[in-house]
Amino acid sequence: YDVCYAETEEEKREYIEYIHGQYNSERLTGILRNLTDIIGAHILNLSKQDYTPQGASVSILIAEAPLKDHEVDPTNNRGILETSGTAIQANLEALEKANQAHLDVQGTAIQAHLNTSHVSVHTFPESHPSRSISTFRVDIDVSTCGRVTPLVALDYLIGNFESDIITIDYRVRGFTRNTAGTKLFNDYPVRSIQDFISIETLDDYNTMDVNVYHSNLYHTRMILREIDLDRYIFNRDVHEICESEQAEIRQALEREMLEIYNGRNIFEES
Give catalytic residue positions.
117, 122, 145
- Asked if 196 contacts 218 with a C-beta cutoff of 8 angstroms, the reply is no
61 has which bridge partners?
Answer: 45, 118
* Angle between the N-to-C axes of helices 25-38 and 154-161, in degrees from 0 to 180, rounded to the nearest 10: 160
d(CA 60, CA 111): 20
CA 253-198-25 angle, 5° bins: 60
Beta strands in the chain (DSSP E): 2-5, 42-50, 56-63, 116-127, 133-143, 165-171, 176-177, 183-184, 205-209, 217-224
d(CA 225, CA 261): 12
- For residue 117, count other CB atoms closer than 10 A to its CB: 19
CA atoms within 13 A on the CB side of 204: 15
